[in-house]
Each structure stands twice: as structure tokens, then as C-alpha cells.
Amino acid sequence: MGKSMDFSLYLVTDRGLIRDRALVSLVLEAVRGGVSAVQLREKSCPAGEFVQLAGNLKDRLAESNVPLIINDRVEVALAAGADGVHIGQEDIPYHQVRSMLGPNRIIGLSVNTYAQLMEADRTDVDYLSLSPVYSTKTKKDTKEPFGLEGLRKARSMTQKPLITIGGVNKQNLASIMATGMDGVALVSAICAADSPEDAARELADIIRNIKREQNHAVMQHQ
């Protein structure tokens, strides 16, 4: 697929949360429910196993046109034919990742501070992930949470697609999207759900409704 991407409901996988369920099946269930992008995150997976898992997932996602993004591991993304890579501030520098992946693959970058956001805004990175919006148990190495006011400030600082991660759930999703985010990334709200498909559908409905309200408000002001 090309560089176009629907960021609205972005699933980040965590095999530690899926109990005894198969990861690929769980992801496909979530996609049926409305997940629009998938990031495969495997922090301790051997390269060969990671490539096999990513290649299998990429094949299964092909008909849905949902992009597969690999967390951190550029060589895995290349070997599996994934759509892109997501990197953090401590990973390989962005410009080196771009030179390895070429111009057509998607690269996302996590930003934890406004200074990092301003620096990233000067690059051609495809999207930015503000981390975290709230404190969360699934990521223990995060900085000070942005909060809703922080998301609004970040939105005013860049035209790039913005998503946010960290403590996002169906209770706070509408207020997060109202800050101008292009989407949200979720881990436990889907991976740990009894029905990933139902959980994704409920979240996707909330996002769809608030985007409809935002579009209506824009049209009213025109």
C-alpha cells in the first residue's frame, strides 16, 4: 500500500496481555471490529520468529488494506514486507531509518516532550505519537503525561498526523479525540478484552461519532 493511512484506531500488540489466544487471530478479530492500523511490538522475540510472525500477519491483513507497522526493528520490517516502522527516541535515528526503508514506507516516531515534537516537525516523518496522554501500566519508561491540555498544545504546534497512547479507554476516548488528534493507539483496551472485535467496534463507533460531530461543526462555520 502507499503512504496513506487511517490513524483513527491504531492497535499496538502485546502478547503478554492476550492470554492463551493466538496473536494473529486476535489482530484479525480487532480489524473486523474497526482497527485501522496495526503495530506489531515484540521486545524479546528472536529475529527469525519475529519475521515469520510479521510476514504471516502482513499476508492476513492484505485483503483488509490495514497497514502493518513494526515496532523498532527495521530489518524485520524489510524482511517481512511490512508497511513501515515505528521508532522511539532511543532507537535508530529517524534519518538513518528513512535511508534504510526508502521514501515509500511509513515511519512513525514517539515524542515525549514539546522539544522533541518541534524537532520531529522539521523532518518528513509520516506521523507522531504523543506518549503518554495518561500514565499507564503497559509502558513504565514514559515521561510526564501530556494530558488533554498538552494534546491541544501539541496539536497547535504541527500539521503532521498526531496520535496518542497511554491509558486510552472508551471512557476518555471522546475527550481525547476532541483535542484534534488524528487517532489513538491502544494496547490493553483491545489486547486484554474478552472480545477484541467487540472492543474495537465500540471504540471505532466512538471515534466515528466524534469525527462526524467535528465535521458538522466545521460545515456550520463555513
Task: Please check whether residue 67 lies inside any domain of the structure.
Answer: yes
The whole-chain average pLDDT of the chain stands at 94
Q: Which of 8, 58, 73, 110 is catalytic?
A: 110
Q: How confident is the model at residue 2 (pLDDT cuts 50, 70, 90)?
A: very low
The reported pLDDT for the residue numbered 55 is 98
Asked if residue 9 has pLDDT above 60, the reply is yes
For residue 196, is the peptide bond before it cis, meaning its omega torsion is within 30 degrees of 0? no
**Has residue 2 been placed in a domain?**
no
Does 17 fall in a domain? yes
**How many domains, in total, are found in the chain?**
1
Tens digits of per-residue pLDDT, 72-121? Answer: 999 999 999 999 999 999 999 999 999 999 999 999 999 999 999 999 99
Domain membership of residue 95 as a residue range:
9-221
Confirm whether 117 is domain-assigned: yes
Given the residues 8, 15, 36, 41, the one annotated as active site: 41
- For CA atoms 59, 63, 65, 66, give the dihedral sign: negative
Digit-coded pLDDT (tens) for 132-152: 999 876 555 557 899 999 999
Q: What is the pLDDT of residue 1?
A: 44
Q: Is residue 26 part of a domain?
A: yes
Q: Is the model's pLDDT at 42 over the cut of 80?
A: yes
Residue-wise pLDDT tens digits, 161-184 = 999 999 999 999 999 999 999 999
Please report whether residue 207 resides in a domain. Answer: yes
Residue 216: which pLDDT band, with cuts at 50, 70 and 90?
A: confident
Q: What is the dihedral of CA 150, 66, 189, 178, to 10 degrees?
A: 30
φ, ψ at 69 (rounded to 5°): -110, 135
Asked if residue 80 is part of any domain, the answer here is: yes
Long-range contacts of 115-122 (CB under 8 A, 24+ apart): 116/89, 117/154, 117/157, 117/158, 118/157, 120/94, 120/158, 120/160, 121/157, 121/158, 121/160
Residue 1 resides in a domain: no
- Confirm whether 139 is a catalytic residue: yes
* The one catalytic residue among 60, 98, 139, 153: 139
pLDDT bracket for residue 222 (50, 70, 90): confident
CATH number at residue 47: 3.20.20.70
Phi, psi values for residue 94, rounded to 5°:
-55, -50
Known active-site residue 15: no
At 190, the amino acid letter reads: I
